[in-house]
Amino acid sequence: MKRTKIDEVVKIIQKRILEGEYTVGQKLPSERTLSEELNVSRGTIREALQRLQLERLIDIIPRGGVFVRSPIQKIVLGGSDFPKNVGPELKKSGSFIHLMRKQGREVIVRYLEPSKIIAAGNEIGKQLNIDKKEKVLRRYRVQLIDRVPYRILDTYLLASVAGELVGHEDHKVPLFQWLYDEKKLRASRVTEQLHCRMPTEKETQILNIPRTQPVVEMHRWIWGEKEDTEEVLFEYSKIVANALLHDFRYGYTIDEEAIRP
């Protein structure tokens, strides 16, 4: 069968994607630019792009552009077969990084700034319910799964609890395990607050996504307890996740009053 101009354009763009010339999340040149470069009509380019979208190689976002789609499966958090974590992210594994490694995924943690001890300040002091002068350990990083940026984490830990971890950025031992082994502090409960929004310019650069692609912002508070002591709020994190690569699932029981008011 004779190949059409559309077939040729599909093959060219497909080759560029597979060979990494166009990388995951990258915005492709405009229809006009491609039509001039490949010496075909804009209609031909449009048809070729629609075919590539059907092949799940690209995403066409109205008034936003055309972007290379990630071939990576979504991370499903909260009761699913993949990853195999029954319940929310920390309930069984205690660590997103080690959960992914158990699934055979390549995990890279890239620190956007070196970890450091700082004064909590007004905002973090409020989140951790401590004085603004109290010291906290800040860990500001991005997590990459199979070399694709999944989420940004800005974590604050009580320095009195985890200050010894400053400079230890290899994450070889899960935090909860380290806290229990070294401090006899058992992580006991977590509260998370999520909402969806559009990313900031800085977040698009870190996550390698367009401004038109939503992110999920999660605020997380973690408490721990020792024997014969009161529960302590030791961690606050702000997590910004690429919404395209995450699903969040949850379930709950129905109260009796909803059935018999």
Q: What is the pLDDT of residues 36-62, one digit of tens each?
A: 999 999 999 999 999 998 887 888 887
Q: What is the mean pLDDT of residues 10-35?
A: 87
**Residue keyed to tokens 């995924």:** 105
Q: What is the mean pLDDT of residues 1-9?
A: 86
pLDDT score of 213: 82
- Rounded to whole angstroms, how far apart are CA atoms 107 and 144? 6
- Rounded to whole angstroms, how far apart are CA atoms 220 and 139? 14
Find how far residue 236's CA is from the centre of its chain. Answer: 17
Count of helices and strands (H, E) across the chain? 10, 11
Q: What is the mean pLDDT of residues 95-123?
A: 85
**Which residues are registered as beta bridge partners of 232?**
224
Stronger pLDDT, 22 or 128, i.e. the higher one: 128
pLDDT score of 67: 87
Q: Is the pLDDT of residue 99 over 80?
A: no
pLDDT score of 87: 45
pLDDT score of 85: 37
- Rounded to whole angstroms, how far apart are CA atoms 206 and 109? 13
pLDDT score of 171: 65
Stronger pLDDT, 73 or 235, i.e. the higher one: 235
- Rounded to whole angstroms, how far apart are CA atoms 2 and 9? 14
Q: What is the mean pLDDT of residues 144-171?
A: 88
Q: What is the mean pLDDT of residues 252-256?
A: 76
| pLDDT, tens digit (0-9, with 9 covering 90-100), for 64-97 | 789 888 666 666 666 544 333 344 555 554 567 7
Tell me if the bond preceding 261 is cis, omega within 30° of 0: no
Mean pLDDT of the chain: 84
- 28-42, 76-90, 97-111, 219-233: lowest mean pLDDT where? 76-90
The phi-psi region of residue 214 (left if phi > 0; otherwise alpha if psi is between -120 and 50; otherwise beta) is: beta
